[in-house]
Structure 1
Amino acid sequence: MSNATPTEGGSIIEEYRYLLSKESVWGWLFLLPTLVALAVVSVFPIIRGILLSFYEYNALRPNVWLGFGNYTTIFGLPEFWNVLKNTFVWSFASVVMMAALGLGFALLLDREFKGRSIATTLLLLPWTIPFIAVALNWNLLFDFNLGMFNGILNLLGFERLDWLSRGRYALFSVTLAYVWRNFPFFMITFLAAMKGIPQDLYEAARVDGSTRLDLFRHITLPFLQPIGIVTTLLMSLWTLNHFTLIYVMTSGGPGNASMVLPVYIYRQAFRQNDFGLAAAIAVVMLIIMMGYGLVYLRLYQEEVGGK
């Protein structure tokens, strides 16, 4: 016992001494420009937005302190709760559909077949297309008179649908476009994880009489779980924070049928000129995203053992 304490103390001292070493100082100096840039483009705007949420902003006269007035206002708006519901529906549906498609195509591409490299390239193409181009092309696909989807419905004997101008279909239509563009992210991460699964496990399981479903449930899925949690977390946060596709395709309309929080914040700030209210909504959105991230990190630590 008496010998353990000095050793532990010595190790702690050595650790802090290393932080002050020449190599460590040079490392921090090389990181300094990145840290400053990160503070300028990320940390400072976040702090500025939080402070702005407590004011009534006006560019022509001094700001008026409202305290939590903006938050009281937004929580009293029925349309805010509708937008919040749309945001969660859009995020959940998009991530589930992308994960399902990505996993399905990853399982397909994990097999040997002729033309697999070409199929992989074609399936990855949507991930390389800018959101603006995706939105414009899918607007054409959903066009009432000339769109492909209505053309197929017409051939099958069904009535044409107002995909983007009817509240019943608008959010669903945008979700389809978003899923098509982003499912390759799930596909390529799942496929990479499958390549790391030892084939000996499959061979031993087949010898024991396991079916393909058994192999998938007891070998493939457990190995995919860590990367699946991380990928789902990243895509969920990206989806919650996504703006471009919905704004270009529907601008949140018709009415508020496809309105989500990022587009709602933009409308409050640059159309209603209420920057204080927009900042308050952005802070609420930040809290939601932080909570979402903490939940998934907790799940990652408990189920996977990551730190």
Structure 2
Amino acid sequence: MSQDAAVGAASRTGSRHKKAWHLAERPLVWLAPLTLLLFVTYVYPAIDVIRYSFTDATLLNPEYAYTTDSFKAVIRSPDLPGILWVTFAFVVASVILQLVLGLLVAMALHRGVRRRLPGVSVVRIIILSAWIVPGVAAGIVWQLMFNEASYGFLNAVLRGAGLSPVAWLSDPNIALWSAVIANVWRGTAFSMLLLYAGLVVIPSSLYEAASVDGATALKQFWYITLPQLRPILLINTVLISIFTLNTFDLILPLTGGGPGRATEVLALYTYNTVFRNFDLSNGAVLAVVLLLISIVFTLIYVRLLPREL
């Protein structure tokens, strides 16, 4: 390369570095498009929902007036305490089971990969396939599984074993737990994916040192695995709590919120208020309640995160 060519290349490289340095000094230049996109797709719709919550708007009448009567109507509703209790039980049971099962599956897959067991990749794909199934499709599949007719798979298995069939979806005391089972089946794969990623980055030297010191597998799990996974466990808990809190697409084809209102969670109640009762203002108030609960969940978990994060 001639001297002139080398000087030209160095000049172009310096120019590129100078432009990159200017962009680093002015982050708003490259953050502006992303900020605008987030505002249009997330912030503005949320602000619009909050605005509608202070109106008496319905889907049947384009005219509305600003008022706080919608908040008073929702707070005084006799259905709200029961809906909140069903939502609480559904979210807590789903989150606990997804965390426990996700961790167990992630540990089993991690150990299988380390030992190079055949079929581990196939098992991983099968588990992840449950996660990519749309909620409505999953609800229909589980509705067929739980169905009390002759074609219901689970009751057919029970009859074949000489046991009495179970009213999976028609008994108010069982229907909610049937919905929990369906939701856990769909959501466990997501927890497994996050926790498996956390297990992969734990240094194997920690386990080797613990083995040399005579630590049992249970102690290694309690004093090494869980502390190392704590940040991911908390983030995972935040995400699946919010996902579960906003779940209605699975419950809608599974039980429709019944029998009675035994499985009508807050998200489904909001959907029914807007699209069945055509009450946009009350539905907006319930959406705001969902948003506030999600924010409270997030703030609690963020406070629990290690300070170094």
Matches of 1:72 and 1:22 in 2, distance apart? 53
* Contact kept? 2:169, 2:178, Cα under 8 Å: yes
1:222 aligned onto 2:235? no
From 134, 139, 147, the equivalent of 1:130 is 134
Q: Given the two structures, how large is their TM-score scaled by the length of structure 1?
A: 0.86
1:289 aligned onto 2:294? yes
Number of the residue aligned with 1:86: 86
Q: Percent identity?
A: 36
Counterpart AA for 2:52: L
Number of the residue aligned with 1:240: 245
Matches of 1:117 and 1:201 in 2, distance apart? 26
Matches of 1:298 and 1:22 in 2, distance apart? 36
- Residues 158-197 of structure 1 aligned to structure 2 (within 5 Å): 158-197=163-202
* Contact kept? 2:23, 2:30, Cα under 8 Å: no
Number of the residue aligned with 1:272: 277
Number of the residue aligned with 1:253: 258
| Cα deviations by residue, 1:140-195 (Å, 9 ceiling, x for unpaired) | 11111211110122123332223223322222111111111110111122122111
Number of the residue aligned with 1:62: 63
Matches of 1:293 and 1:61 in 2, distance apart? 36
Residues 132, 61 of structure 1: CA spacing in aligned structure 2 closer, same or farther, 3 A cutoff? closer
1:120 aligned onto 2:120? no
Matches of 2:67 and 2:100 in 1, distance apart? 46
Counterpart AA for 1:244: D
Tell me how far 1:66 sits from its aligned partner.
Answer: 2.5
Number of the residue aligned with 1:305: 307
* Contact kept? 2:86, 2:264, Cα under 8 Å: yes
Matches of 2:98 and 2:146 in 1, distance apart? 20
Counterpart AA for 1:174: A
Of 40-49 and 220-229, the range deviating more from structure 2: 40-49
SS of aligned partner of 1:110: helix
* Contact kept? 2:136, 2:252, Cα under 8 Å: no
Matches of 2:62 and 2:130 in 1, distance apart? 47
1:52 aligned onto 2:52? yes
Q: Given the two structures, how large is their TM-score scaled by the length of structure 2?
A: 0.86
Residues 161, 22 of structure 1: CA spacing in aligned structure 2 closer, same or farther, 3 A cutoff? same
SS of aligned partner of 1:64: coil
Tell me how far 1:228 sits from its aligned partner.
Answer: 0.6
Matches of 1:60 and 1:256 in 2, distance apart? 28
Which ranges of structure 2 fall in alignment gaps of 5 or more residues?
A: 1-20
Matches of 1:200 and 1:36 in 2, distance apart? 46
Q: CA RMSD in A?
A: 2.0
Matches of 1:198 and 1:180 in 2, distance apart? 30
The count of aligned residue pairs is 284
Residues 44, 25 of structure 1: CA spacing in aligned structure 2 closer, same or farther, 3 A cutoff? farther
Residues 199, 225 of structure 1: CA spacing in aligned structure 2 closer, same or farther, 3 A cutoff? same
Counterpart AA for 1:63: Y
Matches of 2:62 and 2:224 in 1, distance apart? 64
Which ranges of structure 1 fall in alignment gaps of 5 or more residues?
A: 1-20
Number of the residue aligned with 1:40: 40
Of 35-44 and 279-288, the range deviating more from structure 2: 35-44
Residues 292, 93 of structure 1: CA spacing in aligned structure 2 closer, same or farther, 3 A cutoff? same
Counterpart AA for 1:78: P
Residues 195, 25 of structure 1: CA spacing in aligned structure 2 closer, same or farther, 3 A cutoff? closer
Counterpart AA for 1:47: I
Matches of 1:267 and 1:277 in 2, distance apart? 11
